[in-house]
Amino acid sequence: MQATPADPSTPDAFLTPVEHLFVRNHLGPPPELDASAWTLTVEGLVERPLWLDLAALRGLARRRLTAFHECFGNPSRPDVPTRAVANLEWSGVALADVLDLAAPRPQARHIWFEGADRGSYAGEGGLRYLKDLPLEQARDEVLLADTVNGEPLPRRHGFPLRAVAPRLFATNSVKWLTRVVLSERRPEHLFTTRLYTRVPPGGGAARPVREVDVNSKLLGPRDGQRVTAGTHELTGRAWSYEPVVAVEVAVDDDGWRPTLLQPRGPGPVWQRFALPCRLSPGPHRIRCRATDARGRVQPPSGARNAVHAVEVVAV
C-alpha cells in the first residue's frame, strides 16, 4: 500500500483522525458486543480470578497513552512493505492495575489475550483471535483502552475494550477483548505460533512478530504527485521500537542528506522529519531512510521496512 494523493490513510497530522485509521479484521465483520452484558475474564495462574464489567473497569485509575500503531502486513508475506501506520491517543486502564487485582501466581510467565471475534482465516474454520506476550513486558506497557482520540472506541476498532501494546506491531493489540489468561507457556495457535512469526535478520529460530522495525514514510510530496518546480519541504514520519535518531532523504542520485527530525519525547510516538529542497522541472525519485537508537537502519530493498521511495513530477 503506497501513499498516493488518493490515499489519505496517513495524513500529515500528529494524531491520525480515526476515520482515516486502517481496519484489520482477520475473522470477518466486527462482533457486535452489548456493553451492558460484556465482561472481561481474568483467569489461569492467578490467586483471584476476575469477571470485570465496564463499571468495575471504569472504577480503576484512568491512563492515557499516545503511540504509533503499525500493522505488520500480511503474515504470509512478511517481507512485503505496507507502511500501514497511524499515531493515536488512547485512554483506559493499565493492565498492571487489573493484574494487581487478580494477583498472578509466581509461575505465570505469559499472558494470553483473547478477542470475541470468531470465524475462519486462511482456510481454517472455528477460529478465535488470540495473541500472547511475556507477562513482564505486558505488565509494564499494555493499556486496556476504551477510547481513541478522546472518543469511545468505534466497533470496528474494538468496542468496548481492546488491548494496546505500544511499540509492538498492532497485531498484538487485541480488539473486542473478553478474556485474559495467565499461563506458564505460550498458546499454540494460528495467530501465535504458526503465523506472525519470522526469522531474525541474522538467521536462527523464528520469533513472534512483536517489536516494530525501524521504518519511515514520505508523506509530502506523495507518490505520483505533480508538484510545481521550485523549493519544497520534503516531509514524512519515522518510527521504531526505539526512538529514531536520524532520517535521511535522497533526491534522485544526489546522495543521502540529513533531515530535521523531531525528537520522540517520553512516549512511543512517530516523529516528523523535514528537509527543504529544490526540485528542478522533470521526474524525480525521492527516498527516505531512518536509523534508530539501536543503530538499526532501513535496508535498501527486500524487507518490509525497506527504504520508502516515491516518484513525483515537477512542472
Ligand X SMILES: Nc1nc2c(c(=O)[nH]1)N[C@H]1C(S)=C(S)[C@@H](COP(=O)(O)O)O[C@H]1N2
Say if CB 180 and CB 42 are below 8 A apart.
yes
CB of 98 to ligand X, least distance (A): 18
Measure the CA–CA gap between 116 and 129, rounded to whole angstroms. 7
CB of 45 to ligand X, least distance (A): 23
Give, in order, the Cα–Cα distances in Å from 71 to each of 68, 180, 283, 285, 301.
10, 22, 31, 26, 19
CB of 38 to Mo ion, least distance (A): 24
| Pick 71 or 297: Cβ nearer Mo ion | 71
Measured at CB, which residue is nearest to ligand X?
115
Per-residue mark of binding to ligand X, 212-241 (x: CB under 6 A)? ------------------------------
Say if CB 198 and CB 76 are below 8 A apart.
no
Q: Which residue has the cell 501494546?
A: 165
Give the long-range contacts of residues 255-260, CB within 8 A, separation 24 or more.
256/289, 259/234, 259/288
Q: Where are the alpha helices (DSSP H) in the chain?
A: 54-58, 95-102, 135-141
Measure the CA–CA gap between 140 and 268, rounded to whole angstroms. 14
CA-based R_g, the chain, Å: 21
Beta bridge partners, 27, equal none
For position 199 contacting ligand X by CB under 6 A, the verdict is no
For position 25 contacting ligand X by CB under 6 A, the verdict is yes
Q: Which stretch binds Mo ion (CB under 5 A): 24-32, 195-203, 219-227, 267-275?
A: 24-32
CB of 99 to ligand X, least distance (A): 20
For position 171 contacting Mo ion by CB under 5 A, the verdict is yes
For position 80 contacting ligand X by CB under 6 A, the verdict is no
CB of 75 to ligand X, least distance (A): 8
Say if CB 143 and CB 87 are below 8 A apart.
no
Residues 27-46 that bind ligand X (CB under 6 A): 27
C-alpha cell at 234: 520534503
For position 176 contacting ligand X by CB under 6 A, the verdict is yes
Q: Which stretch binds Mo ion (CB under 5 A): 61-69, 70-78, 120-128, 131-139?
A: 70-78
CB of 17 to ligand X, least distance (A): 13
Per-residue mark of binding to ligand X, 113-142 (x: CB under 6 A)? --x-x-----------x-------------
The count of chain residues that interact with Mo ion, using the rule CB under 5 A, is 3
Stated as kind and residue range, the H or E segment containing 204 is none
- Helix, strand or coil, per DSSP, at residue 217: strand
**Under the rule (CB under 5 A), what is the footprint of Mo ion?**
24, 71, 171
**Under the rule (CB under 6 A), what is the footprint of ligand X?**
21-27, 71, 115, 117, 129, 157, 170-171, 173-176
